[in-house]
Amino acid sequence: MDLKDIIRDYPDYPKKGIIFKDMWPTIEDPDAFEHILKEFENEFRGKIDRVIGIESRGFIFGAALANRLKIGFTPIRKKGKLPGETISTDFELEYGSASIEMKNESLKGKNILIIDDLLATGGTVEAAIKLVEELDGNIISLGFLIELDFLKAREILSKYDIFSIVRY
């Protein structure tokens, strides 16, 4: 299945010069969603103990994959959205700055997949990596539905394995 036929482009969104890659049609299409989950499952079955999904679309792929693999799922959320004790980090975005957090629970001895829908500049996943490593998680890979090669995030994240299903 060629997911590029399903992912929609929106030129000049959210600002002029950007071509927004809309992945939602891959979720709306049950065959496409199943294809994505099988790709992730084939890549990571037997290699990971925990899936960590980045808000919000990383939750969709991450929770579904964790369920298929019969392992745990942990969310990384925007600051102020999780109850209990958390750890957080700030990071820069193309349009400003943001903060993310996760539960302050040890990941020692856990082989981790961090998953999200899109790898663009790498800022969000770098922040997620910082949190997981602070909790002693062993990052096995970073998984994405879409990777925008021309933004060269792979160079910034060169010490990590990166698995992307669709690359532009």
Give 49-74 pLDDT, tens digit per residue: 999 999 999 999 999 999 999 999 99
What CA dihedral angle connects 32, 25, 78 and 84, to 10 degrees?
-50
Q: Which domain holds residue 90?
A: 46-167
Residue 149 lies in a domain: yes
In the predicted model, is pLDDT for residue 99 greater than 90? yes
Above pLDDT 70, what percent of the chain? 99
Give the tens place of pLDDT for each residue, 6-27: 999 999 998 899 999 999 999 9
Annotated catalytic residue within 41, 94, 133, 134: 94
DSSP string, 22-49: E-HHHHHSHHHHHHHHHHHHHHHTTT-S
Residue 22 lies in a domain: no
The reply to whether 57 belongs to the active site is: yes
Positive or negative CA dihedral for 144, 62, 134, 141?
A: negative
CATH number, domain containing residue 52: 3.40.50.2020
Annotated catalytic residue within 50, 57, 77, 147: 57
The reply to whether 77 belongs to the active site is: no
Residue 162 lies in a domain: yes
Indicate the number of domains in the chain.
1
User: pTM (2 decimals)?
Assistant: 0.95
